[in-house]
Structure 1
Amino acid sequence: MTAQLPRSGPVLIELGARPEEPVQLMSPDARSSYPTDVRARLRADADTVLARYPQPRSALLPLLHLVQSEDGYLTPAGIEFCSDVLGLTGAEVTAVATFYSMYRREPTGNYRVGVCTNTLCAVMGGDAIMDALRDHLDIDHGETTADGAITLEHIECNAACDFAPVMMVNWEFFDNRTPASARELVDALRSGEQVNPTRGAPLCTFRETERILAGFADDRPGALESSGGAGEASLAGLRYAKEHAMSAPQAAVPGEDGHPDLGAEAVADTVRDKPAPAPSATVPPQPGTTETDPATKGE
Structure 2
Amino acid sequence: MSVRRLAKEQPANFTFNAKSEAEIAFWLGKYPETRKASAVIPLLWIAQKQEGWVSEPALRVVADRLEMPYIRVYEVVTFYTMYNLAPVGEHLIQVCGTTPCMLRGSDELIKVCKSRIGEAGTVSADGKFTWTEVECMGACANAPMFQLANADGDHYVEDLDGPKLEQILDDLAAGKQIKYGPHSDRTASEPHGTKVLTDPSLYDGSRAKKIKLPNTGKAEAKS
TM-score between both structures, scaled by the size of structure 1: 0.56
Please give the alpha-carbon distance, in whole angstroms, between the structure 1 residues aligned to 2:148 and 2:139: 14
Distance 1:119 1:27, change over 3 A: same
Please give the alpha-carbon distance, in whole angstroms, between the structure 1 residues aligned to 2:104 and 2:17: 49
Please give the alpha-carbon distance, in whole angstroms, between the structure 2 residues aligned to 1:113 and 1:182: 11
Aligned-pair distance for 1:113?
A: 0.7
Please give the alpha-carbon distance, in whole angstroms, between the structure 1 residues aligned to 2:21 and 2:181: 36
- The answer to whether residue 109 in structure 2 is matched with residue 126 in structure 1 is no
1:150-189 to structure 2, matched below 5 A, reads: 150-170=129-149, 171-189=154-172
Q: Higher relative CO (CA 8 A, sep ≥ 6), structure 1 or 2?
A: 2
Contact 1:32 1:76 (C-alpha < 8 Å) held by counterparts: no
Distance 1:27 1:196, change over 3 A: farther
Partner of 1:66: 46
Distance 1:229 1:123, change over 3 A: closer
Aligned-pair distance for 1:43?
A: 5.0
**Which of 127, 143, 146 is the equivalent residue of 2:125?**
146
Partner of 2:217: none
Distance 1:176 1:40, change over 3 A: closer
Q: Which has the higher strand share?
A: 2
The structure with the larger Rg is 1
Partner of 1:6: none
Contact 2:16 2:47 (C-alpha < 8 Å) held by counterparts: no
Once the two structures are aligned, what percentage of the paired residues are identical?
A: 24
Please give the alpha-carbon distance, in whole angstroms, between the structure 1 residues aligned to 2:102 and 2:17: 46
Partner of 2:191: 232
Partner of 1:56: 36
Code of the residue aligned with 2:190 in structure 1: it is: G
Please give the alpha-carbon distance, in whole angstroms, between the structure 2 residues aligned to 1:176 and 1:32: 42
Contact 2:5 2:78 (C-alpha < 8 Å) held by counterparts: no
TM-score between both structures, scaled by the size of structure 2: 0.73
Partner of 1:192: 175
Aligned to 2:53, the other structure's residue is in SS state coil
Instruction: List runs of 5+ in structure 2 lacking aligned partners.
Output: 195-223
Aligned to 1:56, the other structure's residue is in SS state helix
Aligned-pair distance for 1:141?
A: 1.1
Aligned-pair distance for 1:183?
A: 0.9
Contact 1:163 1:231 (C-alpha < 8 Å) held by counterparts: no
- The answer to whether residue 68 in structure 2 is matched with residue 88 in structure 1 is yes
Contact 1:56 1:86 (C-alpha < 8 Å) held by counterparts: yes
Q: How many residues align?
A: 182
Aligned-pair distance for 1:230?
A: 3.6
Code of the residue aligned with 1:77 in structure 2: it is: P
Q: Deviation per CA, 1:54-111, whole angstroms, max 9, x where unpaired?
A: 2201111110011112322111111001100111111100111111111101101111
Distance 1:188 1:77, change over 3 A: same
- Measured on the aligned residues, the alpha-carbon RMSD in Å equals 2.3
Aligned to 1:26, the other structure's residue is in SS state coil
Q: Deviation per CA, 1:166-204, whole angstroms, max 9, x where unpaired?
A: 1221241111101000111111111100122026xxxxx
Distance 1:229 1:107, change over 3 A: same
Code of the residue aligned with 1:188 in structure 2: it is: D
1:1-299 to structure 2, matched below 5 A, reads: 17=2, 23-28=4-9, 30-34=10-14, 38-39=15-16, 41=18, 45-54=23-32, 55-137=35-117, 139-170=118-149, 171-198=154-181, 230-232=189-191
Distance 1:198 1:40, change over 3 A: closer
